[in-house]
């Protein structure tokens, strides 16, 4: 077996996991309303409709479609500035990342579904530009994670997540179907949310949690 870079790599989802997506969307809507109240109402309607369906919606891509890239970039800049004075993360997000940083021989990054521009905008707004991130178009993230497992038994991480290899993965997400295909030598934490379709099919190594704070408690018990 080749040498691993870390023993455990923590993969953390963005929307509704680390990020308070509703608060983030409301802030962006407020910024957009300064330019066009009508566009802000339309943005809010789309966010609500897609959320009810449990589907991903790129707010930035929507804005680009309506006003063009140049103006969307200006709106994004105002949004980032407005976000700098706010905490857009969910309960326990700061604590979980701080806890992981105290552990020896581990690392973490963000694995998020969506458009590159839209997800990057939210990561910047949340003040997490220092966290390695991979924006994916793979719905079943578990299958994607499992595809990183080499013949040496290690998980070989994409360059976006820092490269190197990990002995195991601890994966945190809010959608049950995201865990589809995750191999049994990984740990999974399902952060309960409105999106519970498929929860009855979660394997035993996927642990439901109410908040990210519970993950810290469970990980400490494994140490």
Residue 109 resides in a domain: yes
What DSSP assignment string belongs to 156-172?
Answer: E--GGGT-SEEEEEEEE
pTM > 0.75: yes or no: yes
Give the pLDDT score at 1.
42
* Token duo for residue 175: 């959608």
Host H or E run for residue 214: helix 212-222
Q: Does residue 205 carry a pLDDT above 80?
A: yes
Domain total of the chain: 2
- The percent of residues in the chain predicted with pLDDT above 70, rounded, is 96
Q: How does pLDDT run across 163-185, given as a tens digit for each residue? A: 999 999 999 999 999 999 999 99
Residue 1 resides in a domain: no
138 and 202, same domain (yes or no): yes
* Token duo for residue 170: 């601890």
**Cβ-Cβ contacts under 8 Å for 211 (sequence gap 6 or more):** 90, 91, 92, 191
141 and 153, same domain (yes or no): yes
* Domain limits for position 44: 21-83
């Amino acid at each position: 077996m080749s040498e691993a870079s870390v023993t455990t790599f923590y993969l953390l989802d963005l929307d509704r996991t680390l990020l308070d997506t509703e608060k983030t969307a409301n802030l962006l809507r407020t910024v957009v309303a300064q330019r066009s109240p009508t566009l802000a109402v339309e943005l809010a309607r789309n966010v609500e409709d897609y959320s009810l369906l449990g589907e991903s919606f790129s707010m930035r891509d929507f804005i680009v479609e309506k006003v063009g890239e140049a103006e969307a970039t200006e709106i994004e800049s105002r949004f980032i500035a407005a976000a700098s004075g706010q905490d857009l993360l969910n309960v326990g997000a700061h604590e979980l990342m701080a806890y992981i940083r105290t552990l020896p021989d581990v690392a973490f990054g963000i694995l998020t579904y969506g458009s590159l521009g839209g997800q990057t905008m939210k990561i910047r707004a949340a003040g997490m530009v220092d966290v390695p991130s991979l924006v994916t178009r793979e719905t079943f993230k578990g299958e994607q994670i499992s595809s990183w497992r080499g013949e040496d038994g290690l998980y070989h991480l994409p360059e976006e997540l820092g490269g190197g290899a990990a002995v195991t993965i601890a994966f945190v997400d809010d959608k049950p179907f995201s865990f589809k295909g995750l191999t049994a030598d990984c740990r999974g934490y399902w952060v309960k949310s409105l999106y519970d379709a498929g929860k009855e099919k979660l394997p035993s190594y996927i642990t439901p949690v109410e908040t990210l704070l519970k993950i810290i408690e469970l990980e400490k018990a494994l140490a």
